[in-house]
Amino acid sequence: MTIFGAIEAGGTKFVCAVGSSSGGSLRSATIPTRDPDSTFADVAAFFSAARDLGSIAGLGIASFGPVRVNPASPQYGRILATPKPGWEGTDMIARARAFLDVPIGLDTDVNAAALAELAAIGAGLQHLAYVTVGTGIGVGLVSAGRSVHGIGHPEAGHIPVRRHAAHGDFAGLCPFHGDCLEGLAAGPAVAAAWNVTPSHIPEEHPFWEVEASYLAQLCASLFLTTGPERIVLGGGVMKQERLLPLIRGHTRELLGGYVDALRSIEDVERAIVPPACAEPSGLVGAFLLAERSTRSETRGG
């Protein structure tokens, strides 16, 4: 069996694994994210120790952003402007290749998660959005089976949204935009606006409606822009199961019957779903990136 390496590189932790997208992880480790040198030293140690599992054919990196994802760019693989101390300019591919000289595939963590969710759902689907609502709001997009890259990579967590009246004059927490979607609806914004954490909010609290109205605006905008067949909602905030049906309801209301494939509540229930991957979607996506990187190098692509 061919085995691959996977790194889900996040702002708080790096999850490293050896295995494959179909077979899952044979071994994995979670490494706290510190400065690049310390973090990658632990990553290298994990993959060095994992040599007893066999030869690793390729490596996939599902990275936090912003990161240069265009393989034609001289900055390919580099972390761009970020508030994470020490990470700006870090070359994720060079760091990995220093300890594992194999074909390497790289994308954003959320684009990788979108690829993984598309593969997990199967059924001939080609268009999917993966949204994570946690310390930030990240959006990965797959269109016609390929992850979407443009002038950068998707950053739809930062779209402007209509403020909910019950949110009062809460200014929002995004250092770039104040009250963009992430500034109003990510975990830290929820804590700051209501002085609570999502896991401890009573049912009658206005949070639920406010949060659902914001995330529904993202869902409606995505359906109206790239038209995903599925929007997968993951991340820490989405662990509150009361949110999903509220978001579906608000999304259907916002679409107003305009998109013919999303008229009934059953249509919307089928289209907005929780993650289907058995392991974290970003990690499974990293295995997919690894597998694709070895295929494209064989083809000379």
Strand partners for 78: 91
What mask, x for binding a second copy by CB under 8 A, covers residues 237 to 256? -----------------xxx
Q: Binder to a second copy among 61, 161, 284, 286 (CB under 8 A)?
A: 161
- Nearest approach in angstroms of CB 52 to a second copy is 40
What does the per-residue mask of binding to a second copy show for 120-159, with x meaning CB under 8 A? -------x-----------x-x-xx-x-xxxxxxxxx-xx
Residues in CB range of 201: below 8 A, 6 or more apart: 194, 207, 208, 240
Q: Name the strand (E) or helix (H) holding 46.
A: helix 36-49
Per the structure block, which two tokens stand in for 63? 């990275």
Find the binder of a second copy among 227, 239, 264, 278 (CB under 8 A): 227
Of 13-21, 28-36, 160-168, 291-299, the window that binds a second copy (rule: CB under 8 A) is 160-168
If the CB atoms of residues 15 and 141 are measured against a second copy, the closer one turns out to be 141
Task: Convert 48-83 to b/e letters by CB count within 10 Å (16 or more is b).
Answer: eebeeeeebbbbbbbbbbbbbbeeeeeebbbbeebe
Binding of a second copy at residue 30 (CB under 8 A)?
Answer: no
- State the distance between the two ends of the chain, measured CA to CA, in whole angstroms: 24
- Dihedral pair phi/psi, residue 107, rounded to 5°: -155, 180
* Footprint of a second copy (CB under 8 A): 66, 80-81, 127, 139, 141, 143-144, 146, 148-156, 158-163, 176-177, 217, 220-229, 254-262, 271
